[in-house]
Amino acid sequence: MAEQPLFKVTIDNVTVEVPAGTTILQAARQAGSEVAPPAMCYYSKLEGSGGKCRTCLVEVSKGSDKDPRPMPKLVASCRTTVMDGMEVKNLTSERVVDARKGVVEFLLINHPLDCPICDQAGECHLQDLAYNHGNAGTRYEFQRRTFEKHSLGDKIQLHMTRCILCYRCVMVADQLTGQREHGVLDRGERAEISDYLEKSLDKEFIGNIIDVCPVGALTDKTFRFKNRVWFLKPLNAHRDCPTCSGKVTLWNRGDEVFRVTARKDEWGEVEDWICNECRFDKKKTSDWVIEGPREINRHSVISQNKYVGLVKPQETIDEVIGKEPRLFLDIHDVSQVNEKDRDLSLIEGPAHSTDFKENEEKK
């Protein structure tokens, strides 16, 4: 089989080589988090995801080496594949920055200010998006769209008022459980997530829709209103589970396990799907083998007062000198201010240069 060719793409002046067929968003993530666009609907493990939230819009200033013409409009980086020699602007483009502010404002039009009571606060992607790319205020003065709270069974609660219609939960149910029982009803501003004839979601692995939700629309009833994530200590743990990998993150306070979630990577995506038994039923420390503290991004509020992965800075002078610093000279020999026999605390009022001149005249 012939080797897949590598394409060279430049994103915000950072050049990487990626295989043909790679999207701009995937290439940007390989280049580093500094140049990677945000994404609210794209999920690398879900087939067909992306292209709905428009937060990952970028400007293609050069199409390729063969056709260097720029693309006239901003494109969704999660659905646009790279070409050899392509040049992309993300944060370096004023068009992208302005368009992203508009997208964030649009997503927040009907989103309630539930952050003080929302279980997703502290790990909400929409909070991060609004803080990094949004405006300080809103221009929307009309009545917001509201929905009644909807129960999706004894384990999952749906707050449709917070939903941004990313479709991730629908794709998880469709691709992971094999039998989807909920979806999107109606169209336009009336579109909403709902189940089939008030049927509860109880299929195996359905709890993963909580982890993939970028906002607080889907919450865990076993953890609901019990604690704040920044008060909890995330721990890597595993168990021998016949259904899933058994690799999870425990959220403890003391010896009490408040919730169990799947482990997530730096992009907030699940590393391994976990089953409902691990997520909802195993809530004792004795059920798990603790591996150690979970390393959290230092910019996250969850990492505050947690010192996992921190490196003590090295003293530069030790590296330059090659030995412990020592006294090179006696500063009293060259500085009259530091005379050994002068006690500044005995001088009446502030010390001035005249005090030292008087001392010289006396000598």
Query: Which of 180, 234, 238 shows the shortest CA–CA distance to 205?
Result: 180
Task: Give the pLDDT band (50/70/90) at residue 154.
Answer: confident
pLDDT of 216 strictly over 80: yes
pLDDT value of position 361: 57
For 175-190, b/e burial (b = at least 16 CB within 10 A) is ebbeebbbeeeeeeee
Contact between 126 and 215 under an 8 Å Cβ cutoff? The reply is yes
pLDDT value of position 198: 63
Residue with tokens 């949004």: 134
Reported confidence tier of residue 302, pLDDT bands at 50, 70, 90: confident
Q: Collapsing DSSP states into helix, strand and coil, what is residue 247?
A: strand
State the first-to-last Cα distance of the chain, in angstroms, to the nearest integer.
94
What is the DSSP track for 111-171? ----TTT-TTTTS-HHHHHHHHHS-SS----SPPP----EE-SSSEEE-GGG-----HHHH
For tokens 């299929």, what's the residue? Answer: 203
Q: Which residue has the higher pLDDT, 322 or 263?
A: 263
- Poorest-pLDDT segment among 79-83, 175-179, 251-255: 175-179
pLDDT at 269 over 80: yes
- Per-residue model confidence (pLDDT) at position 73: 94
pLDDT score recorded for residue 333:
57
pLDDT for residue 29 = 93
The alpha carbons of the chain give a radius of gyration, in whole angstroms, of 29
Q: How confident is the model at residue 211 (pLDDT cuts 50, 70, 90)?
A: very high
Question: How would residue 145 be classed by pLDDT, with cut points 50, 70 and 90?
Answer: confident
18-63 pLDDT, tens digit each: 999 899 999 999 998 889 999 999 999 998 888 889 999 999 999 8
Tokens of 262: 């799947």
**Phi and psi, residue 318, nearest 5°:** -65, -40
According to the model, what pLDDT value does residue 212 have? 93
The mean pLDDT of the chain is 84
How is 65-112 classified by DSSP, letter by letter?
Answer: SS--PPPSS-EETTT-B--TTEEEESTT-HHHHHHHHHHHHHHTSS--
Predicted structure pTM score: 0.78
Q: pLDDT-based confidence at 330, cuts 50/70/90?
A: low
In terms of Cα–Cα distance, which of 273, 272, 261, 265 is closest to 295?
A: 265
Residue 345 has a pLDDT of: 54
Q: What is the pLDDT of residues 76-135, one digit of tens each?
A: 999 999 999 999 999 999 999 999 999 999 999 888 888 888 999 988 999 999 998 988
pLDDT at 267 over 70: yes
Q: For residues 230 and 301, is the Cβ–Cβ distance under 8 A?
A: yes
What average pLDDT score do residues 132-141 get? 84
Cα 11–Cα 17–Cα 20 angle in degrees, nearest 5: 100
Quick count: other Cβ atoms within 10 Å of Cβ 298?
12
> d(Cα 262, Cα 298) in Å, to the nearest integer?
20
pLDDT band, very low/low/confident/very high, at 362 (cuts 50, 70, 90): low
pLDDT band at 150 (very low <50, low <70, confident <90, very high): confident
3-state secondary structure of 212: helix
How far, in Å, are 45, 151, 181, 299 from residue 274 at the CA level? Answer: 14, 22, 19, 27
How many helices (H) and strands (E) would you count in the chain? 8, 14
* Alpha-carbon gap, residue 264 to 297, rounded angstroms: 11
Structural domains present in the chain:
6-104 (3.10.20.740), 110-293 (no CATH), 327-362 (no CATH)
